[in-house]
Amino acid sequence: MKDLDQYWRYSFVGALLCAAAIGIVLRIMSIQADPQRLKQLEAEIEQVTKVQKTIVPARGQIYDRWGNLLAGNKKVYEIGVELQDVEDPQFIAHAVSMIVPDIKYEYVFSMASLKPSPSAVYATLTRFAPQEAVDKLELLKKQLKEDYVANGKDAPSLRGLVYYPHLERYYPEKALASNILGFVSRDNQGYFGVEERFNELLSGKARTVLVPTDPNRVEEMPEVPNGASLVLTIEREVQLAMEEIIDDAVAETGSASGTLVVMNPKTGEIIAMATTPRIDLNEYWRLEEVFPPGSNIPFNRAVGQAYEPGSVFKPLTMAIALDTGAVTPDTVFVDTGSIEVGGIFIVNWNRGAWGPQDMTGCLQHSLNVCLAWVATQIGPNNFYRGLQAFGLGHLTGVDLAGEVAGRLKAPGDNDWFASDLGTNSFGQGIAVTPVQMAAAISAIANNGVMMAPKIVRSVINDGYQHDIEQRVIGMPIKPETARTLSEMLARSLEKESSDALVPGYRVAGKTGTAEIPIPGQGYTSNQTNASFVGWGPVDDPQFLVYVWLEKPSTSPWGSVVAAPVFRRAVEKLVIYLNLPPDDVRRRLASSN
């Protein structure tokens, strides 16, 4: 009887199991027969085994033209606490505050003491701890574990303390080329320079994806392409040398600021762009110490600050006059010391009369009266049409954030007056940026062809390098006009034995000294903007250098303070660019 009872019990259990199996099979068949329900079930399973995560790609790196790293990435760590695992918040706070820079004990203790809950499972202590801090914490963890094993007693605990690596922007050269590069904040946003101008390209595209919660399935983590990298046109060694030269010039002349731009007039490539002030980009949060709010100091004066250039502007006026046939190099003007244009009288820088002068003499002695007369011979329509052809009053399109266009008034504007024709001819009443002037003057150095200034040489993306094409942005004067004017400007420097002359190399150029206007008061300031622009070698220009010193105190004259800066820059450039002296170069060319 007992055996019979057991038989029925086993039969009953077996029947139940068979029924359950049949039910499961039927359920599976019904789900498979219903594709929508099958997808829903798969989604529910995936939701349990995977979580959403935003994967931020590594930001692209920035190099100089020879591959020297200017902006890269370094590994840092997010340190946090898994609240459910914390045993000793007090010791966690003590350890972290002692080892990790700039973290307060009170903050860590309050975070580590939070009660775990469905809405509070993890607390971030810092997102940017250096590698050495994490190494010290790991060593401390190991020591605590060894103490516990050796002594067999309770010890201070760092349980719950965790770290996660990620990348932070890093500038190995600190302040070098900082005005060109800009910086990246800790939210991965670029500010100023190429970091801002190419932020989207450099940062790549973040993706929000489902990732496995099981660490054994880490290989299923999707890959996200890194951001593109940039190769700049600047040369690290030249940039460093130009920064040292302009820093020394600012100190020696007591100037408020200094800017020095080196450009290849044949290609538009900027070889160096040095300006003051600069900051260590690794400490970008000190920005307001160097550029105080309300000070109106641009991050990069070369592209972000327009000023009245003064006589350095005169080559553009002479270029238009020669090109339109208004004058020739041999045209003689009798300088009586003043000229009336549009109802105002214009005088020379020394208020003197210079008598008969050909056009080279007008440039050599930088005669305002002569250039104002030249502008009247051109006429307002041709004069302003010519200046617009040189790109004045417009953005150059240089690939840097923060460029301003300056201001070129012209007939038809409400604030243009007939007298502006005279004053604009020698760089007064017009606002330009250094890079604007460098681009415009490059047309004189480059046989009349004006190239777009560029700072990015190529883009590296997905393993391929894409070179950025050189771009012609105009031909404001004829080639013969450019060659004639270059020769005139070279002779004018040689005749006055300028401080800009470089032994062994023939250069062309022009000084500039401009009074600084005070809003509503006219030109009553005793301070000036001192400038110099020059290029060489004259027969085959390889460089163009633009110098601007703001409010020099040792001397107001560009010929005294700015011309020597040009000479020092060229003396360095010919070495870095491997340019032999003119006579050696000609002998080498003839022997080939």
The answer for residues whose C-beta is within 8 angstroms of residue 34's C-beta and 6 or more apart is none
Residues 168, 24, single domain; the answer is no
Q: Which helix (H) or strand (E) holds 369?
A: helix 368-378
Last residue of a domain, one of 172, 193, 212: 172
Domain shared by 404 and 549, yes or no: yes
Specify whether 441 is located in the same domain as 392: yes
Q: Are residues 81 and 46 in the same domain?
A: no
pLDDT of 187 reads: 86
Q: What are φ and ψ of residue 549, in 5° steps? A: -115, 125
Residue 304 sits in the same domain as residue 435:
yes
Contacts of 154 (CB under 8 A, 6+ apart): 148
Whether 209 is covered by a domain: the verdict is no
Distance of CA 338 to the CA centre of its chain: 45
Question: For residues 336 and 370, what is the distance between their CA atoms, to the nearest angstrom?
Answer: 9
Distance from C-alpha of 149 to C-alpha of 407, rounded to nearest angstrom: 77
Residue 267 lies in a domain: no
For the stretch 531-573, pLDDT in tens is 999 999 999 999 999 999 999 999 999 999 999 999 999 999 9
Q: How many domains, in total, are found in the chain?
A: 3
How far is residue 46's CA from residue 243's CA, in Å, rounded to a whole number?
Answer: 57
- What 3 state SS string does 489-533 have? HHHHHHHCCCCCCECCECCEEEEEEEECCECCCECCCCCEEEEEE
Check whether residue 90 and residue 138 sit in a common domain: yes
In this structure, is residue 516 part of a structural domain? yes
Question: Which of 143, 172, 201 is a domain's end point?
Answer: 172
Torsion, CA 583, CA 586, CA 587, CA 592, rounded to 10? 160
Is the same domain home to 77 and 27?
Answer: no
Within 10 angstroms of residue 501's Cβ, the number of other Cβ atoms is 19
Task: Name the helix (H) or strand (E) containing 437.
Answer: helix 434-445
Element (H, E) at 237: helix 236-253
Sign of CA dihedral 191, 193, 198, 204: negative
> Does 165 map to a domain?
yes
Asked if residue 522 belongs to a domain, the reply is yes
CATH of residue 133? 3.30.1390
CATH code (residue 512) = 3.40.710.10
Domain residues for 107?
Answer: 72-172
Q: How far is CA 101 from CA 95, 134, 169, 312, 446, in A?
A: 11, 11, 18, 51, 54
Which DSSP category does 401 fall into?
B
Give yes or no: residues 16 and 128 share one domain.
Answer: no
User: Would you say residue 400 lies in a domain?
Assistant: yes
Look-up: residue for tokens 């039910």? 23
Query: Do 490 and 381 sit in the same domain of this protein?
Result: yes
Which backbone phi and psi does 517 adopt, to 5 degrees?
A: -70, 145
Q: Which residues of the chain have pLDDT under 50?
A: 45, 48, 213-216, 218
Helix (H, G, I), strand (E, B) or coil at 44: helix
Q: Is residue 531 part of a domain?
A: yes
Whole-prediction pTM value? 0.86
317 in Cβ contact with 323 (< 8 Å): no
Secondary structure percentages of the chain, helix, strand, coil, to 5: 40, 25, 35
Same domain, 92 and 125: yes
In a domain, 210, yes or no: no
Does 79 lie in the same domain as 37? no
Claim to verify: residue 331 and residue 439 sit in the same structural domain: yes
290, 192 Cβ separation under 8 angstroms? no
